[in-house]
């Protein structure tokens, strides 16, 4: 199936330190490209895969599961590991969920993780009906482009595929159960105003992980897709400094 223009995966070859970027649910690598370009300019090797079912049509995403999405980033991670002295993983929204899951499974092989508005739960009570609703209704109107900055576009679906949502809920469940396995340094960015991910996600993640080195930064001028919003420069600069600190790389 054809990929929407601008939603393609991307990679940049650079120095010995690798960075894996992971985009969010129904989104695309477009939400991560400016971040990736910044990190590449800083001299890092960068990879951002397009998750299966994303960047094409929402109907295709309904035929994928969280295991498909996770499998794609794990393959990209293994490739970076072969080519890098250190690997850092950075994710937005569900990309943050997948980042946490990868960190749980590869604790000693990841130098550090950066999370931007990650999700591991929902307070929406209608989610309880999802096992039945997904069989009757294929999709609902999406909440895409939750961005304060005018003109920004994450190239996400206008519909939310419900079978895929049901699989996301499964990913949340297994990730929450293993949060204690996350021990590496964490840089955590969270928007003060987020219309997609509730603050309870932040609280649950902070309470669940075992990492001793955790830096928590609130973003005052961005909504959910903060990597394309007004606070994006703070994310880019902060993550580059985080990599240099924990990989002992000179600026």
Active-site residue numbers?
A: 93, 194, 224
The 3-state DSSP class for residue 135 equals helix
Query: How far apart (Å, rounded) are the C-alpha atoms in residues 168 and 50?
Result: 16
**Alpha-helical segments (H) within 42-129:** 58-61, 66-83, 94-105
Query: How far apart (Å, rounded) are the C-alpha atoms in residues 66 and 80?
Result: 21
Give the H/E segment covering residue 235: helix 232-247
Tokens of residue 153, six digits: 């576009």
Question: How far is Cα of residue 81 from the mean position of the Cα atoms in its chain?
Answer: 19
Q: Is the dihedral of CA 241, 245, 246, 249 positive or negative?
A: positive
Query: How far apart (Å, rounded) are the C-alpha atoms in residues 184 and 205?
Result: 14
Query: How far apart (Å, rounded) are the C-alpha atoms in residues 154 and 88?
Result: 23
């Amino acid at each position: 199936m054809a990929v929407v223009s601008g939603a393609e995966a991307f990679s940049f070859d650079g120095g010995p330190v690798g960075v894996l970027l992971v985009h969010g649910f129904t989104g695309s690598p477009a939400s991560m490209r400016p971040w990736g370009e910044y990190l590449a300019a800083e001299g890092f090797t960068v990879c951002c895969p397009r998750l299966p079912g994303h960047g094409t049509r929402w109907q295709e995403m309904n035929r994928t599961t969280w295991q498909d999405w996770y499998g794609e980033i794990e393959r990209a991670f293994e490739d970076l590991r072969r080519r890098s002295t250190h690997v850092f993983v950075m994710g937005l929204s569900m990309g943050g969920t997948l980042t946490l899951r990868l960190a749980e499974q590869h604790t000693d092989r990841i130098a550090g993780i950066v999370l931007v508005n990650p999700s591991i739960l929902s307070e929406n009570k209608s989610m309880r009906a999802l096992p039945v609703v997904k069989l009757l209704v294929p999709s609902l109107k999406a909440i895409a482009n939750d961005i304060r900055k005018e003109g920004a576009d994450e190239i996400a679906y206008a519909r939310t595929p419900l079978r895929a949502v049901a699989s996301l809920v499964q990913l949340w469940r297994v990730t929450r159960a293993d949060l204690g396995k996350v021990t590496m340094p964490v840089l955590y960015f969270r928007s003060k105003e987020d219309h997609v991910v509730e603050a309870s996600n932040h609280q649950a993640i902070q309470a669940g992980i075992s990492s001793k080195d955790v830096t928590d930064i609130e973003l005052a001028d961005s909504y959910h897709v903060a990597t394309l919003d007004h606070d994006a420069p703070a994310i880019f600069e902060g993550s580059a400094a985080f990599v240099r600190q924990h990989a002992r790389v000179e600026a």
